[in-house]
Amino acid sequence: MSANNITAHSAGGYNFYTLNSGGKSFVIGGVPEQYAGEYIKTATECDAVILLTSKPEFTGGMDALLDIKPDIEVYGSPAALRNIKEIVNRAVNERLIKDGMEDHGICFHVTPGLDWVDTVMAVCNGVLFSGQAFSSEAEGAKEYYNRYLAVNSGFVLSALDRLADEDISFIYPFRGEAQAPEAAFAAYRILAEAPERSSPRAVIIYSSKYGYTKALAERAAASLGAAYKTKVFDADICSAAEAADAINAAKVFAVGTRTINRNAPQSIWDIITRIDTVNKRGMPYFVFGSFGWAGDGIKLIDKTLAAMGLRRAAKPVEVLFKPTQEDLDKIDKEVKELMK
């Protein structure tokens, strides 16, 4: 496909584009290393590379390209330029992209979180080079969005707002077909705003052997329910991915864990390790649980969440075996701290 001095190329289902603008030729996008042959052949005829992201999935031909053409200009955000030099393990002829800058008729927008923090988009002659945004695979655009971008819905909305004043006729993504902007923007806004409307604003996950930690979780849910729409997950039977997705869409969350062999159960770890530690940094959390010996599981989860960059909003509540009324009152007290 070729139009408006833009040519679209495809290799292994990945799109990349060549653009002639302002007397300069650019290659935009990229492919994984196993599909790099066609990309390299095309890119060596260009003056510059525009990195919409340094993600290795889309920069697989860069190392070999630089072997052939070491002085080719490489445009990227500060994070992308830092990353690509570590990916190819050499210096590059770098051109820094700043938000809102124009270069050779191309307008650049820094749009972090879509889906890496180094992401930018480019607009030229009514065409938006969108990167992973508005891409699709065999299962469809919505499924692609949910897999890669849903966790960053706030960044999606920010990007849509930034693009609102641009005169865009077509969107050229990394994966899938070119598309008109009106329907694509509207669909993404609906997808990005959905978590704000429908997802639980507070989430509790717990693992309980004898029902003691479950009783604490139920009390925490009752307290949180006064201020938040609250969802409770039994970690031992729920989908870890579903529970983590709920945490990633929530404002606050709490973890109730038993202790087994001086550790938290694997079901709790399976959820914790799926939390988005970039976009949920500083998110308030609270840990509680019942134990029979030393309560190591509670301590480990609490310290791990803090180390991940989340914010301990309340003191852990550690209960020896069956909770008393005093223990349940402690849950109420610490939940109030969580909700501040």
pLDDT value at residue 197: 57
Residue 214: in which H helix or E strand, if any?
Answer: helix 212-224
- pTM surpassing 0.75? no
Q: Is beta strand 120-124 parallel, antiparallel or unpaired with respect to 106-110? A: antiparallel
**Domains of the chain: which residue ranges?**
2-196, 200-338
Per-residue pLDDT, 1: 43
CA distance 336 to 340: 7
Identify the bridge partners of residue 256 per DSSP, sorted by sequence position: 206, 288
* Tokens 């039994």 -> residue: 234
- List, for the chain, all residue ranges whose pLDDT scores fall below the cut of 70: 1-4, 195-200
Widest distance between CA atoms in the chain? 77
Question: Residue 182 CB: number of other CB atoms within 10 A?
Answer: 9
In angstroms, the Cα distances linking 159 to 56, 93, 110, 215, 281 are 22, 28, 8, 43, 20
Q: Angle CA(289)–CA(232)–CA(321) in degrees, nearest 5?
A: 20
Specify the fold of 200-338.
Rossmann fold (3.40.50)
Q: Which stretches does DSSP call E strand in the chain?
A: 2-3, 6-11, 14-21, 24-29, 48-50, 73-76, 93-96, 102-103, 106-110, 120-124, 127-131, 170-173, 202-206, 230-234, 252-256, 284-291, 311-312, 317-320
pLDDT at 196: 56
Could you say which architecture CATH assigns to the domain 2-196? 4-Layer Sandwich (3.60)
What CA–CA distances, in Å, run from 321 to 122, 129, 233, 281?
Answer: 59, 58, 21, 33
